[in-house]
Amino acid sequence: MIRGYVKFSGMNFPHIMVPLMEQEQMMFNTKRPLIIYESMKLEFTKYDVSNLSVDLSSATFDVKGRRGVVTLNFEFKADGEIVGTGSKRMIASGLIPWDGEAMVLTLRSSTMLKLAS
């Protein structure tokens, strides 16, 4: 269960958050990023499962001025059956207008850091 969630969580940036930010035409300041995990909620109907996967069910980025709330909803599945759900909320502060070039540089830097570790 934990491994499945950690693998899913590692995809939050860039695979989920970058498309949300581009859609809203707002993004975190790449020079001073500030994204804080606000809360997470998990609910399960079964605990003793194998072959667990975690899949995104929906994602939103609600922007109000220079702040935004990212909400990721996901499902835990065992052999295709939903055995749990989850929701993660993150607060992004100091938002700036979307800058594709700055985001590309941030993505390159992030990828290089992952490869180095």
Question: CA 86, CA 108: separation in Å to the nearest integer?
Answer: 30
What backbone torsions phi and psi does residue 39 show, to the nearest 5 degrees?
-160, 160
What backbone torsions phi and psi does residue 48 show, to the nearest 5 degrees?
-90, 85
Question: CA 6, CA 1: separation in Å to the nearest integer?
Answer: 9
Q: Is the pLDDT of residue 19 over 90?
A: yes
State the total domains in the chain.
Answer: 1
Encode pLDDT of 61-112 as tens digits.
999 999 999 999 999 999 999 999 999 999 999 999 999 999 999 999 888 7
Which amino acid appears at position 32 of this protein? Answer: R
Question: What residue numbers bound the domain in which 75 lies?
Answer: 2-116
| pTM for the predicted model, two decimal places | 0.87
Closest to 59 measured CA to CA, from 12, 97, 10, 25: 12
- Which tokens in the block code for residue 24? 């809203």
Domain of residue 13, CATH code: 3.10.129
pLDDT band at 11 (very low <50, low <70, confident <90, very high): confident
Q: Is the pLDDT of residue 2 over 80?
A: no
Q: Is the pLDDT of residue 22 over 90?
A: yes
Encode pLDDT of 76-88 as tens digits.
999 999 999 999 9
The phi-psi region of residue 34 (left if phi > 0; otherwise alpha if psi is between -120 and 50; otherwise beta) is: beta
